[in-house]
C-alpha cells in the first residue's frame, strides 16, 4: 500500500457544519465475522442485540482498522459532547453503462466537479456511503468522502452563469442522476406494529409527498427545453420557471429574471419575499462569499411557492438547481424531525445513572437468590430462572416510556393551544428557561405600523413635519416618489401584499400598483417592470406613472433596500430607504442636515420607528440590470425621515410582567434603532421606571488594531427637553468624539442626578444597552468584559441575524437556559440555537424553530414555560413512581424467596397491568398550574430532595413488608404447612364445631388445596402481596404532585377515578373470601382481624409518606435554610459572576472610556455600505 493505514484511517465529515462527524475506516475480516456469527447463535441473539445498541462494538469485533480508501465499513462518531456512534456499509455505484468512451465524459460542467473526481478508473465505479439520508462519495484526489446532491461551494458567480447557464448535456445529467440519486424526500410510513412513531411518520409522509412528483421544465444543452418529473432533477440542471404559481421541488439559484416567493413553509413568514437574480460578478470569490449574508436573496428554496415571476430581456426566468433531495431546505427540516439533535439535559443523564443503580441492586438480588435457592438444594434451572426474574423486577422495562408520557400529553395540550412542536425532547427544557430573548417588531410590537409623520429635507435643512393623516395630501416631489416606489410590494389575489411597513407607506400616497404585465419601458430591454400609478384618491401628479425597473431587496445585514425606478417618459432614479444612520452614511455630506442626530433622537426617544429616505439620478443609457449595489447606493441625496408609530401588542406588557414576577429575565434583541428599542423596553415594562439604562459604546480606533469602550448613562429628562438627552448621550451636533486618554470623561449632569444614578447602580437596578456593532467589537476586543455586560444587558439593537445567534450562544455559556421568541425569517439562526426557539407563525411547523405558535403574540411564551415545568415535574413523578413500584415488587419477591416462595403469575400480572400500566398512563394527565412561581423545578434526579423522597419511601415500603412478613408468622392461627388453619380455627371458635366436623372440613379444604395449590399460596405471600399492591397505590397518590407546577391532583379526574377503582378492587381482594377468586390469585383466607390490621398498617404508611413528602420534601423554606446553613451556592456561571460583581464597587464604570490592549484575532468587516467620514464618530451612538 505504501502508506501508513493508521494515518488515513480517520477523517472528518461535514467539517465546521452543525452535523460534523468523525469517520473511521474498517475492513471486514472473515475469521472475526465467523466468530461473531457463532456468538450470535450461542447467545440466542443476545450478542446481536448488544451490537445493535453498540454499533462501535460490532465494528471493533467484526473488522480490522484500515485506511478510508480501502474500507468496506465505516464507523461514524459525532463530535458533540454525546459522541454517538453509527455504523455504515460502503456501497459501489457503477456508471460504466453511461460512459462508453472518453468522449462521453467529462463534460464542460464536470471538469472541476466532485462527480469527475469520484469515478474510479478503469472500473468506472463510485464508492459511496449514506448518512442520515445524505449521500457521500469518495473523492479519489482529495482522499475524503464528500457530499453530493448539491453544487460545490467553490463556484463563482460568473462560473455558475457560464457553466450552467445553458443547461447540462444529457450525458452529464445521467451521470449526476446515478451518483446523486433521485430528487425525492422519501419518508416511509412506519408499519402499524410500530405504533409509537406511526403518527409522526404519516404526517411527515403527507408533508413531503406533494413535492416529490411535480412536472418541471428544464433546459438541456444543445437539446432545448424538456418537460420531466421533478425526481429526475440533478444539481446543475437549468430550471425554467413559467408564469403562474409553481411549487419548488428543489433548491435553486435564480440566474435570470425576478421571482416573488411565499416562504411561509420554511420561515413561518406569510409575507411574500422578492428574489433577484445572481449578479454576473467577475471575481474569484465563491458566489456565496461574494453575496455574503444576502445570498438567500438569490436562492429559491424547496417546498416554497413561486407566486409571481418577472422575466428580464431574455424573456425567460431561469434558475440553476442548487440542491436536491434531503440536501434541500425542506429536506433539512424533515431530517431535523427524523434525526433530532440529542439534548444534554441532566434529567436524561441522571435517569441513566439511576438505571445503573437499579442494575446494581438487581445484581445484589441475583446473588441473594442464587445463595438462598442453591443452599436449599433447588435445581440449577430453577435457580437461573428465579435469579433472572429479579432483573426484570428490579429494572422496570417501562421506565423510558414512562419518562416520555408526560412529554406526549404536554405536546397534545400545546397543540390544542396553537403551539406546535417538531422537537418533543425540548419540552422538558422549557421547564428550566430563565432567560427569554424577544425580537421587537412583530413580536413585542404590532406587525402593522401606523404612519405618524414625514420630516422632509431640502437643501440640507429639515422642513416642517407633515403629519398623517392630514387634510392636505403630500405634495409631489422626490419624497413622494420614494414613498411610491421604494418597496417590494406585489398584487397577489387582488390585494397588495408585502412588508407591513411598505404597505402603510405606499397606501399613504393613494397610488395603486398596476399588476398587468407587458409594460414597455423606453431604453430598457425588460417588458415586465412593475408600474405604480396615481389612484382615484391621489392628488394630481405631472406623470402618468413610475416603473420599478430593478430591486435590491431589504437586507438585515445592510439595513436598507433600494430600487431603480423611471418615470414613464422620464429619467432613471435610485431610491433608498433603511436605518437612518446607514442611509445618512451613504449620502453626500452636504445634503444631510446639521441637526440630523438630535432630530433622530427626538423621535426615537419617544419609541417611534424612524426610516431614512434618499435618492439620486442615474446616467442615461445605462441598463439597470448591469449596475451593482455598490454603484447604486453611493453619493445619494438625503430626502428626509419617515416616522412610524409602532404600538405595543396588547399582551406584551402583562406577559413581560408575568415573566418578571417569575424571575425570568427578558432581553430585547432587535434590528431597530437603539433609542427606539430602549423606549419600547421601558413602555413594555422590561426596564422599570426606577431603573437606569447605561449605553455601552465600542468603537474601533482609526489607524490601529485596538478599540475603545465607553459607558454612558441615558438620563431621564423632561419629555420636551430632548436636547439635554442628546447631550447626555454625547450627541451634540457636529461634535466628533476623540479618545485621547483612558481617563474618565467628566459628566456635566447635576450632582443630584449623579447621586440617583449611583444609588441605582449600587442596588443593581441598571440595564446595559448596546448596538450590534458595539457587541461585535466587545466580542473581539473586550472578551473578558462580555459576560459582565450580558449579566445586565437588556437591550441589543441593530443586531444582524448572525449576531443574534451569537448572543444566544453567549448567554448559554453563562449557564442560562435561553428561550428565543421571534419571527422565522431574520431570527432563524437564533431560534435554532436557543434551548427553546418559538416562532410566531401561521404554519404548523417550520425549519426555523422547534416550536411554532399560530397565535402571533408572546402569550405563548409563559404558556410554553408552564407546560414545560408541568412536563418536567411529571417526568420526575413518573420516574419516582416507576422506581418505587419496581423496588416494592423487588423487596416483596426477595422476602418470599427466603421461604422459597414467590408471587404467582396472576399476582404479577395484576400489579404490572391493572395497577402500574394504568397509573403510568393516567398520572400524566394532570395539566399545568396557571401561575408561574418565581422558582423552577429541579432539573436533575440526583438532587437531595428527590433522592431523600425515594430513599424514605423505599424504607417505608421495606418496613411495611418486613413488618407484615414477620408479624403474620407470630399470629396464633399461623401455620407454615396448613394454609387453611386460619379460617378453620376462626370457624371452630365462632361456631364451636365438633372436632369431627372440623376434620371433615379440613379434609375437604385439603382436597381442594390438593387440586389447585401451585406452590405460591402461603400466609406470607398473601400478606406481602396485598400490602405491596396497595403500597403501589399509596406512592402513586403521594408522588402525584400538584401545586406549584401542576394543577391539584383532584383536577385529574381520570387518575382519581382509576385510583379509587383500583383501591376498591384491592380492598375487595383483602376482605372477600371467595374460594375460586382466591384460588386464581394464589391468595389464602386470613382472619378479619388480620385483614383490618393490614389496612391499619397501610394507613400508617400513607400518613408517614404523605407527611414526609409535604413537611420535608416539598418544604422549600426548609431547603433554603439548609442551603444557607451549609453555605451552598449555585454553580451556574452567571450566579457566580453575580456574587463577584456585587462585591465590586467599581462596576459598572460610568462615564469612563477604556482601550483594548491586545489585537483581536479576527476582525470582522463592516456590515456593508460606504463610509462617510462626516458621520463615523456619531453613528455608533444612535
Q: What residues are paired with 127 via a beta bridge?
A: 92
- Tell me how long the chain is: 1182
Q: Are 805 and 830 in contact (CB under 8 A)?
A: yes
How far is it, in rounded angstroms, from Cα 678 to Cα 688? 11
How far is it, in rounded angstroms, from Cα 691 to Cα 679? 13
From the candidates 294, 312, 439, 502, give the one annotated as an active-site residue: 439
Q: Are 660 and 767 in contact (CB under 8 A)?
A: no
Task: Give 103's DSSP letter.
Answer: G
Q: Label residue 703 left, alpha or beta by phi (over 0 means left) and psi (-120 to 50 means alpha).
A: left
How far is it, in rounded angstroms, from Cα 568 to Cα 531? 9
Task: Give 705's DSSP letter.
Answer: S
Task: Give 95's DSSP letter.
Answer: -
Q: Are 841 and 447 in contact (CB under 8 A)?
A: no
Antiparallel, parallel or unpaired: β 63-65 and 21-28: antiparallel
Query: What are the φ/ψ torsions at residue 169 (nearest 5 degrees)?
Result: -75, 165
Diameter over CA atoms, the chain:
129
Q: Are 778 and 786 in contact (CB under 8 A)?
A: yes
Please enumerate in sequence order all residues whose Cβ is within 8 A of that of 598, keeping only pairs 6 or more positions apart, or say none.
722, 723, 726, 731, 733
Q: Are 895 and 1020 in contact (CB under 8 A)?
A: yes
How far is it, in rounded angstroms, from Cα 438 to Cα 686? 11
How far is it, in rounded angstroms, from Cα 875 to Cα 884? 14
Q: Residues 617, 621, 625, 629: what is their CA dihedral angle, to the nearest 10 degrees?
A: -40
C-alpha cell belonging to residue 627: 449596475
Radius of gyration of the chain (CA): 37
With cell 445529467, the residue in question is 173
The SS3 call for residue 476 is coil
Other Cβ atoms less than 10 A from the Cβ of 94: the count is 12
Antiparallel, parallel or unpaired: β 851-853 and 836-840: parallel
Interhelix angle 46-53/55-62, nearest 10 degrees: 110
**Angle of CA points 984, 989, 991, to nearest 5°:** 90
C-alpha cell belonging to residue 785: 468584559
Q: What residues are paired with 637 via a beta bridge?
A: 615
Q: What residues are paired with 128 via a beta bridge?
A: 91, 137
Other Cβ atoms less than 10 A from the Cβ of 36: the count is 15
How far is it, in rounded angstroms, from Cα 451 to Cα 893? 77
Q: Are 677 and 797 in contact (CB under 8 A)?
A: yes
Other Cβ atoms less than 10 A from the Cβ of 523: the count is 13
Query: What are the φ/ψ torsions at residue 748 (nearest 5 degrees)?
Result: -100, 20
> If we measure between CA atoms, which residue out of 363, 252, 346, 264 comes closest to residue 299?
252
Q: 160-185 in b/e burial notation, b at 16+ Cβ within 10 A? A: bbebbbbbbbebbbbbbbbbbbbbbb
With cell 439595513, the residue in question is 559
Q: Are 347 and 873 in contact (CB under 8 A)?
A: no
Q: Are 841 and 269 in contact (CB under 8 A)?
A: yes
439 is catalytic: yes
> Which are the catalytic amino acids?
439
Amino acid at each position: 500500500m505504501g502508506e501508513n493505514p493508521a494515518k488515513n484511517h480517520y477523517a472528518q465529515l461535514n467539517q465546521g457544519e452543525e452535523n460534523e462527524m468523525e469517520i473511521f475506516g474498517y475492513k471486514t475480516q472473515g475469521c472475526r465475522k465467523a466468530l461473531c456469527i457463532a456468538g450470535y447463535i450461542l447467545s440466542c441473539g443476545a450478542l446481536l442485540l448488544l451490537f445493535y445498541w453498540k454499533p462501535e462494538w460490532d465494528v471493533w469485533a467484526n473488522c480490522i482498522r484500515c485506511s478510508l480508501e480501502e474500507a468496506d465499513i465505516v464507523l461514524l462518531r459525532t463530535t458533540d459532547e454525546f459522541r454517538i456512534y453509527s455504523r455504515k456499509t460502503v456501497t459501489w455505484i457503477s456508471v460504466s453503462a453511461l460512459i462508453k468512451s472518453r468522449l462521453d465524459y467529462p463534460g464542460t460542467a464536470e471538469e472541476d466537479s466532485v462527480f469527475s473526481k469520484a469515478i474510479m478508473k478503469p472500473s468506472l465505479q463510485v464508492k459511496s456511503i449514506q448518512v442520515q439520508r445524505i449521500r457521500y462519495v469518495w473523492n479519489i484526489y482529495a482522499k475524503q468522502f464528500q457530499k453530493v446532491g448539491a453544487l460545490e461551494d467553490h463556484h463563482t458567480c460568473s462560473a455558475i452563469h457560464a457553466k450552467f447557464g445553458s443547461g447540462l448535456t444529457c450525458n452529464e445529467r445521467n451521470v449526476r442522476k446515478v451518483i446523486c440519486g433521485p430528487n425525492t424526500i422519501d419518508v416511509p410510513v412506519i408499519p402499524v406494529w410500530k405504533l409509537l412513531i406511526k403518527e409522526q411518520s404519516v404526517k411527515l409522509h403527507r408533508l413531503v409527498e406533494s413535492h416529490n412528483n411535480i412536472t418541471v421544465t428544464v433546459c438541456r444543452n444543445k437539446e432545448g427545453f424538456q418537460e420531466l418529473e421533478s425526481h429526475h432533477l440533478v444539481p446543475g440542471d437549468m430550471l425554467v420557471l413559467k408564469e403562474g404559481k409553481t411549487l419548488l421541488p428543489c433548491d435553486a439559484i435564480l440566474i435570470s429574471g425576478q421571482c416573488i416567493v411565499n416562504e411561509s413553509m420554511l420561515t413561518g413568514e406569510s409575507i411574500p419575499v422578492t428574489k433577484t437574480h445572481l449578479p454576473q460578478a467577475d471575481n474569484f470569490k465563491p458566489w456565496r462569499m461574494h453575496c455574503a449574508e444576502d445570498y438567500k436573496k438569490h436562492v429559491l428554496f424547496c417546498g416554497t411557492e413561486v407566486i409571481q415571476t418577472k422575466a428580464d430581456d431574455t424573456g425567460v426566468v431561469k434558475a440553476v438547481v442548487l440542491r436536491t433531495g434531503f440536501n434541500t431546505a425542506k429536506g433539512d427540516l424533515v431530517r431535523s424531525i427524523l434525526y433530532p439533535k440529542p439534548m444534554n439535559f441532566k434529567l436524561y443523564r441522571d435517569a441513566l445513572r439511576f438505571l445503573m443503580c437499579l442494575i446494581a441492586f438487581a445484581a445484589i438480588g441475583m446473588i441473594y437468590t442464587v445463595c438462598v435457592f442453591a443452599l436449599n438444594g433447588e435445581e440449577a434451572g430453577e435457580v437461573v430462572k428465579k435469579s433472572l426474574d429479579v432483573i426484570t423486577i428490579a429494572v422496570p422495562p417501562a421506565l423510558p416510556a414512562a419518562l416520555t408520557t408526560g412529554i406526549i400529553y404536554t405536546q397534545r395540550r400545546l397543540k390544542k393551544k396553537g403551539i406546535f412542536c417538531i422537537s418533543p425532547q425540548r419540552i422538558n427544557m422549557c421547564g428550566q428557561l430563565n432567560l427569554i430573548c424577544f425580537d421587537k417588531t412583530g413580536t413585542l410590537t404590532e406587525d402593522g405600523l401606523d404612519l405618524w409623520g414625514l420630516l422632509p429635507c431640502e437643501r440640507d435643512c429639515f422642513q416642517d413635519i407633515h403629519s398623517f393623516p392630514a387634510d392636505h395630501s403630500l405634495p409631489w416631489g422626490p419624497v413622494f416618489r420614494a414613498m411610491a416606489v421604494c418597496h417590494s410590494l406585489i398584487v397577489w389575489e387582488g390585494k397588495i401584499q408585502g412588508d407591513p411597513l411598505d404597505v402603510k407607506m405606499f397606501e399613504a400616497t393613494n397610488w395603486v400598483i398596476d399588476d398587468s404585465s407587458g409594460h414597455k419601458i423606453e431604453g430598457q430591454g425588460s417588458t415586465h417592470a412593475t408600474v405604480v400609478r396615481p389612484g382615484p384618491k391621489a392628488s394630481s401628479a405631472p406623470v402618468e406613472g413610475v416603473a420599478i425597473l430593478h430591486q435590491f431587496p431589504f437586507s438585515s445585514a445592510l439595513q436598507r433596500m433600494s430600487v431603480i425606478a423611471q418615470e414613464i417618459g422620464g429619467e432613471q432614479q435610485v431610491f433608498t430607504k433603511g436605518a437612518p444612520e446607514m442611509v445618512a452614511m451613504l449620502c453626500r455630506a452636504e445634503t444631510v442636515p446639521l441637526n440630523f442626530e438630535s432630530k433622530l433622537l427626538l423621535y426615537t426617544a419617544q419609541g417611534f420607528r424612524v426610516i431614512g429616505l434618499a435618492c439620486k439620478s442615474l446616467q442615461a443609457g445605462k441598463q439597470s440590470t448591469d449596475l451593482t449595489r455598490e454603484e447604486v447606493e453611493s453619493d445619494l441625496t438625503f430626502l428626509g425621515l419617515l416616522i412610524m408609530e409602532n404600538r405595543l401588542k396588547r399582551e406584551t406588557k402583562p406577559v413581560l410582567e408575568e415573566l418578571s414576577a417569575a424571575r425570568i429575565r427578558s432581553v430585547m434583541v432587535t434590528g431597530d434603532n437603539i433609542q427606539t428599542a430602549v423606549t419600547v423596553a421601558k413602555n413594555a415594562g422590561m426596564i422599570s421606571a426606577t431603573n437606569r439604562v447605561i449605553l455601552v459604546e465600542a468603537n474601533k480606533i482609526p489607524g490601529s488594531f485596538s478599540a475603545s469602550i465607553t459607558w454612558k448613562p441615558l438620563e431621564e429628562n423632561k419629555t420636551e427637553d430632548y436636547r439635554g438627552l442628546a447631550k447626555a448621550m454625547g450627541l451634540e451636533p457636529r461634535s466628533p468624539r476623540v479618545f485621547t486618554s483612558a481617563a474618565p470623561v467628566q459628566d456635566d449632569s447635576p450632582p443630584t442626578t449623579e447621586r440617583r444614578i449611583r444609588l441605582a447602580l449600587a442596588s443593581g437596578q441598571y440595564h446595559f444597552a448596546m448596538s450590534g456593532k458595539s457587541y461585535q467589537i466587545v466580542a473581539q476586543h473586550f472578551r473578558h468584559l462580555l459576560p459582565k455586560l450580558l449579566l445586565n444587558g437588556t437591550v441589543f439593537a441593530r443586531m444582524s441575524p448572525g449576531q443574534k445567534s451569537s448572543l444566544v450562544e453567549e448567554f448559554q455559556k453563562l449557564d442560562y437556559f435561553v428561550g428565543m421568541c421571534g419571527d422565522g425569517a431574520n431570527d432563524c439562526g437564533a431560534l435554532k440555537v436557543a434551548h427553546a426557539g418559538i416562532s410566531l407563525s401561521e404554519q404548523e411547523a417550520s425549519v426555523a424553530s422547534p416550536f411554532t405558535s399560530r397565535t402571533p403574540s408572546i402569550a405563548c411564551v409563559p404558556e410554553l414555560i408552564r407546560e414545560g415545568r408541568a412536563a418536567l415535574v411529571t417526568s420526575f413523578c413518573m420516574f419516582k413512581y416507576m422506581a418505587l413500584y419496581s423496588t416494592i415488587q423487588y423487596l416483596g419477591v426477595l422476602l418470599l424467596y427466603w421461604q422459597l416462595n414467590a408471587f404467582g403469575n396472576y399476582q404479577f400480572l395484576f400489579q404490572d397491568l391493572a395497577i402500574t400500566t394504568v397509573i403510568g398512563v393516567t398520572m400524566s394527565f394532570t395539566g399545568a398550574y396557571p401561575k408561574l412561581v418565581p422558582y423552577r423545578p429541579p432539573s436533575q434526579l440526583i438532587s437531595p430532595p428527590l433522592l431523600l423522597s425515594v430513599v424514605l419511601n423505599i424504607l417505608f415500603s421495606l418496613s411495611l413488608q418486613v413488618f407484615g412478613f414477620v408479624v403474620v408468622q407470630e399470629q396464633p392461627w399461623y401455620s407454615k404447612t396448613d394454609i387453611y388453619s386460619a379460617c378453620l380455627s376462626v370457624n371452630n371458635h365462632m361456631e364451636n364445631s365438633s372436632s369431627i366436623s372440623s376434620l371433615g372440613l379440613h379434609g375437604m379444604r385439603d382436597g381442594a388445596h390438593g387440586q389447585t395449590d401451585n406452590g405460591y399460596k402461603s400466609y406470607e405471600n398473601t400478606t406481602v402481596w396485598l400490602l405491596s399492591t396497595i403500597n403501589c397505590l399509596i406512592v402513586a397518590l403521594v408522588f402525584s404532585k400538584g401545586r406549584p407546577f401542576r394543577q391539584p391532583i383532584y383536577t385529574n379526574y381520570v387518575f382519581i377515578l382509576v385510583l379509587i377503582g383500583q383501591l376498591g378492587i384491592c380492598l375487595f381482594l383483602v376482605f372477600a373470601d371467595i374460594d375460586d377468586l382466591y384460588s386464581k390469585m394464589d391468595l389464602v383466607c386470613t382472619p378479619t382481624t388480620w385483614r383490618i390490621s393490614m389496612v391499619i398498617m397501610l394507613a400508617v404508611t400513607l400518613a408517614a409518606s404523605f407527611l414526609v413528602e409535604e413537611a420535608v420534601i416539598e418544604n422549600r423554606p426548609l431547603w433554603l435554610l439548609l442551603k444557607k446553613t451549609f453555605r451552598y451556592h449555585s454553580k451556574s456561571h452567571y450566579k457566580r459572576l453575580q456574587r463577584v460583581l456585587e462585591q465590586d464597587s467599581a462596576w459598572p464604570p460610568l462615564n469612563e472610556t477604556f482601550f483594548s490592549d491586545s489585537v483581536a484575532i479576527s476582525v470582522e468587516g463592516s456590515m456593508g455600505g460606504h463610509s462617510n467620514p462626516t458621520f463615523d464618530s456619531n453613528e455608533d451612538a444612535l
